[in-house]
Structure 1
Amino acid sequence: MNTKMIKQIKNILITAVCGACGLVVVACQDNFLDVVPTDRVSDASILSDSVLFEAYVINRYMGTRLTDKEAEGTLPGFGRGFEYAMWSSLTDESIYNNDDNTWVIQRGQLAPENTGIAGTLWGRSYRSIREINYALANVDKVPMSQGKKDRLKGELQFLRAFRYHDLIRNYGKVVLLGDKVYELGDDLTSQDLFNRSEIKSGIEYVVAQLDEASALLPRDNDNGSWKLGRATKGAAMALKARLLLYGASPLYNAATWAQAAAASKAVMDLNKYSLYTGGYGKIFTVTDHSEIIFGRLYAQGARHVCLEIANGPNSYNAWGGNVPVQNLVNDYEMMDGTKITETGTSYNPQDPYKGRDPRFYETILYNGATYRGSTIQTFTPGGKDSKDGPSNWNTSKTGYYLKKFMNDALPIDNPWDIAGTQTWIYFRYAEILLNYAEAQNEAVGPDASVYAAINAVRQRPGVMMPVLKAGLTQAQMRTKIRNERRIELAFEEHRFYDVRRWKIANETENAPANGIEIGKSGTAFTYKVKEALTGKAFTEKQYWLPIPRAEIQASNNKLEQNPGY
């Protein structure tokens, strides 16, 4: 959220008119002491003032805080970026050191009554959809130019599409409300309000909405940049490309790989975006650059979760939150392109962090890594970032700490209102290239364009991994592409959905969540794999999240629960 938007929102407090929680409309207290609230703006005021109405639209980029530890000062966005526990800690990328309602999911104990950190997606999404429908139903009443109305309509359709995409990728079948704005006087008992459409119908509806949004949205945001953090044509097209990729995947089986490839190619053909060449780590700390298609911007002076203290090592007086697991570390290739397990690899188990893919060093803090003028020490005895160090209640259970997203120029000590200001990227160009490579490989096999897309990601300045060898079969290329997504997009809220849509979560999420124990004797180190989180488990039903029990009950049991729950 940029400074202009923050000031606008601070000056104009807007709430949804008779907002919905989930699919159930709750009453507005219109007659409460017959007092008009002073912290709200009436719907009549919103619809008669173009500035107020645009501020209402801007607010739809955010959501309501529905549970503890969601956001810090600023409201939640679309994903869980900038929260304490990241979505990565529900996968084989990391564990959250002190649980934060993640272990119940990692251990396969997810239930409609116990959804951990994954329980707010249904309610927040449908509340947001109703708020957006209200705006779309009334935008033509607002005194403003037709051009401004068209842009706002495009933004609203994009925002609604994003909410539906979030529902589809988490729950599968969803209730499609169309443009209806449900009011208290409506029949809220009709089964039509709770019928869940098939996944294919849901994806087709959202794709159509995104096509309409693309036609209305500008190619660039104001002044030829995308600094406002608001939707553009490219953002709508990127969301379409992602959703069709999901739709073509085995879990969904609701679109074709050719459709998915064409959607990604359309984004590439805009010739607007390019891979950032200033170093892999800086992709996530430089506020604005050519790889960002759509992101959420933050400003200093506004309270939000400070990534540096939330995830840093214990000797730096940080909290060691989302700690990478050995499973992910093992999947980083060597600089020569070999896997650490294959014959002829250059990997040395006595020096395991030497000569790895450069993205490893920008993503994970490991024993011996240079960090903020010091060196990470996770060894025992005596390592300052081990249980023998200060603030040892924050010691990583895996032996690793997260480096990706962290800005070393921002403070760890007393970071409030200063740190954690990095742009959270929802879509970036590398994802589009990898989306294209996967879809095109599945549609026609590993042709030259597949190699070109994946090699562009591997060969960017600052990474420069070897190009893939020629002559790969479709299956071999599939394996390479999946690993490339794992490495390039680590911790960016993709892995949770990737292993599910590929239907391999029964393998990846049933593997132990491992860490490393490093012993030191003199100058020599020993390395022993350990289980960092016990009880890791995944069952078939967990390919989709359960709809919270409260939502089922609120529908008078008319809302169908996902299978197995």
Structure 2
Amino acid sequence: MKNIIKLLVLLPLFTMTACDDLFEPAIENNRDLDAMYSDPDYALGVLANGYILLPYNTSPTSDVATDDAVSNDNSNTWRAMATGAWTSQNDPASQWKNCYNAIQYLNLFLERVESVPFSQTENIQTMFVDSYSGEAYGLRAVYMYFLLRAHGGIGTDGQLLGVPIKTVSESPESDFSQPRDTYAACIEQILSDCDKAIELLPLDYKDKHTESEIPQKYLDLGINTDQYDRVNGVYRAGRISGRIVEAVRAQVALMAASPAFAESGITWEEAANSAGTVLQRIDGINGIDADGYTWYCNTSEIAGLGNGSNPPEIIWRASYSDSNTLEGDNFPPSLYGNGRVNPTQNLVDAFPMANGYPIDNSNSDYDANDPYANRDPRLATYIITNESTAGNATITTGSYGTNNDAINRESGHSTRTGYYMRKHLRFDCNLDPNYNTQQRHYSARIRYTEIFLDYAEAANEAWGPKGQGSFGFSAYDVIKAIRTRAGVGTDNGDPYLEACANSQDQMRELIRNERRLELCFENIRFYDLRRWNADLTEAAQGVNISRGSGGRLTYTPIQVEERSYQPYMVYGPIPYNDVLNFGFVQNQGW
């Protein structure tokens, strides 16, 4: 740990300048932290590390360690983890080092920000200090959330523990054997940081704020709208804002209220209220984006992104880039891809029929000999099934296929399950070396659909399927809107949903399934299963499709990969070296 702190002191700090989406850092070496007191750009470079180290993934990673997907890459660390190699010394889910590095930078910034000369005008200086401090508090809450999600758990002492809370910067002389704080104390700290951030930040960065959007304390100082825009204008769009922090708070509250962390003291009602606050700002159910479930390939919408602007589905996103990296990793081999993420039969079976019934329901009209017909449209939207079209090509995953798209070909790039991932990919990319056409992508950090589903889950637990709290809409209303948007149950009034609305248990099952479908391949299910105390050991299944005489297809289930998890793995480990060197209480079983 001391070496980490020394590294943090010596690491280059970065200068931020305005750019299309956020900032482009420039390295400035060999300067002491006291330079912050005379150089605002240098000070903002310290804050910039809170963005540079953000722990959001830009592609599916943890999904291949769940029942939703497998990887065809033998060296994939999440695949190894899911099949028995997860230890406190080998933890691809660890957030320990990265998050604490970021928190160190944020604490350094918070300790010095009030003395940084952002403006010679006192009132403008006050607003800059407040707003940048709000960013630091909000970012610190994000990092604590990721730390808790990865490392919180039942310690060997039987307590529900979190991680060490660090609200002051450390030096090589600091005491690094600070014990783990309780999980409840960590949640309290995160929510406190969220409250501070929300108080100090604008709801959104934009030009032409109205007077009603200016906090009263600034109005009392005589601040006008032009001055407020100078500090909180659109040039800062893309950085953490009040709206984003409210969404982070909702994520934190949902996690803390969940079965695995129920001792946190956070109730389902508090979780529902946190999510409801975010959704009220877009008029609740009326604000659901009709194209939100295809945010990653809404081409005209993506082409128009600029200056940190967000589509209606997105609360927070990363900067965009023109690339075909995702396609190179995940296109089928015939499209010059590596086919890395292979959806499972387990996930395919979770998509209902278009009439809304699960495929194992007697009213579903599911045909095992034509399994992809009349299904929830999201199945074809998110997954490439046998003989479906991808771009201008027909992808044959059945064993009768004539190229490496077919299941388990020796190329090392073919599917192991009989399916390829379609979600996240743009099929107007062309990986043919003769063309190598790239397209614009961005990764969504927080989507409104996730917060709608957070609300549905918490509201159902707090008030039942149709309880509305103070928000005017219920868990039932959310799920109906999401399924209607997808085209599920639209021709028959969705009788399966109506039946679930009479039972909290049935609605819980439906909400969890809708969450699985809507958020698939977004690095969420691995953590959902664990916070629910759900079974992690369901083997990953696939299908071998063969063709007989007359062209008749036969669908034979196959087991692709066993999952080797132990019950204690609901909670992740504390890194072995930190337990060894600093005496931290380890989580049970590790």
Distance in 2 between residues matched to 1:221 and 1:306, nearest whole Å: 30
- Larger % of helix: which? 2
Going from structure 1 to structure 2, the CA distance change for 1:215 and 1:418 (only over 3 Å counts) comes to farther
CA deviation after TM superposition for structure 1 residue 364, in Å: 0.6
User: Which residue in the other structure is 2:215 paired with?
Assistant: none
Which letter maps to 1:361? A
Aligned mate of 1:494, from 524, 541, 553: 524
Alpha-carbon separation, structure 2, partners of 1:462 and 1:501: 30
Are the aligned partners of 1:308 and 1:420 in contact in 2 as well (CA < 8 Å)?
A: no
The aligned residue for residue 154 of structure 1 is 134
Letter in 1 for 2:421: L
Which one of 101, 115, 121 corresponds to residue 141 of structure 1? Answer: 115
Q: Match of 1:350, SS?
A: coil
> Cα RMSD (Å) of the superposition?
2.8
The 3 A distance-change label for structure 1 pair 388 and 443 is closer
User: Any residues of structure 2 matched to 1:470-481 within 5 Å, and which?
Assistant: 471-481=501-511
Match of 2:553 in 1: 525
Question: Which residue does 2:73 correspond to in 1?
Answer: 98
2:498 maps to which of 452, 459, 469: 469
User: What is aligned with 2:165?
Assistant: 177
The alignment partner of 1:528 has SS state of strand
**Cα shift at 1:227:** 8.7
1:262 to 2:273 alignment:
yes
CA contact (8 A) 2:404 2:413 kept: no
Compared CA separation, residues 388 and 538, structure 1 to 2 (3 A): closer
TM-score normalised by the chain length of structure 1: 0.84
Counterparts of 2:504 and 2:343, CA distance in 1: 30
Q: Distance in 2 between matches of 1:102 and 1:180?
A: 34
Structure 1 residues 43-54: aligned runs within 5 Å: 43-54=33-44
Q: Could you say which residue in structure 2 is the equivalent of 1:562?
A: 587
Would you say 1:483 and 2:505 are equivalent positions? no
Contact 1:315-1:391 within 8 A present in 2 as well: no
Contact 2:165 2:180 in 1 (8 A): no
Contact 1:279 1:463 survives alignment (8 Å): no
- 1:78 aligns with 55
Q: How do 1:226-237 and structure 2 match up within 5 A?
A: 228-237=237-246
The answer for the alignment partner of 2:204 in structure 1 is 220
Distance 1:278 1:226, change over 3 A: farther
**CA 225–275 in structure 1, closer or farther in 2 if over 3 Å, else same:** farther
- Displacement after TM superposition at 1:406 (Å): 0.6
Write the distance in 2 (CA, Å) between the matches of 1:412 and 1:284: 17
Q: 1:452 aligns with which of 477, 483, 487?
A: 477
User: Residue 413 of structure 1: CA displacement?
Assistant: 4.0
* 1:560–1:421 CA distance, 2 compared to 1 (3 A): farther
Residue 519 of structure 1: how far off its partner (Å): 0.8
Residues 165, 206 of structure 1: 8 Å contact kept: yes
Aligned 8 A contact 2:289 2:312 in 1? yes
Q: Which AA in structure 2 matches 1:525?
A: L
Where does the alignment leave 5 or more consecutive residues of structure 2 unmatched?
A: 12-26, 119-124, 153-160, 208-232, 303-309, 468-473
Letter of the 1:271 partner, please give it.
I
**SS at 1:108 equivalent:** helix
- CA drift at 1:221: 2.1
Q: What is the rounded CA distance, in whole Å, between the counterparts of 1:396 and 1:111 in structure 2?
A: 28
Residue 407 of structure 2 contacts residue 415 of structure 2 at CA under 8 Å; is this kept in 1? no
Seen in structure 2, the aligned counterparts of structure 1 residues 163 and 323 have a Cα distance that, compared at 3 Å, is same
CA gap 1:463/1:529 in 2 versus in 1, 3 angstroms? same
- Preserved contact between residue 108 and residue 539 of structure 1 (Cα < 8 Å): no
User: For residues 136 and 491 of structure 1, do their structure 2 counterparts lie closer, same or farther at Cα, with a shift above 3 Å needed?
Assistant: same
Residue 447 of structure 1 deviates from its aligned partner by 1.5
Aligned to 2:396: 377
Contact 1:315/1:390, CA 8 A, preserved across alignment:
no
- Give the conservation status (yes or no) of the 8 Å contact 2:335–2:431: yes
Change (3 A) 1:229 1:418: farther
**2 CA distance for matches of 1:126 and 1:132?**
10
Q: Describe the shift of the 1:463–1:154 C-alpha distance in structure 2 as closer, same or farther (beyond 3 A).
A: farther
Q: How many residues align?
A: 510
Closer, same or farther: CA 308–374 of 1 in aligned 2, 3 Å: same
When residues 482 and 140 of structure 1 are mapped into structure 2, their CA distance, relative to the original with a 3 A threshold, is same
CA distance in structure 1 between the partners assigned to 2:111 and 2:504 by the alignment = 48
Q: CA deviation at 1:80?
A: 2.4
1:214 counterpart letter in structure 2 = I
Q: Distance in 2 between matches of 1:60 and 1:415?
A: 40
The whole-number CA distance in structure 2 between the counterparts of 1:539 and 1:390 is 32
Distance 2:523 2:584 in 1: 28
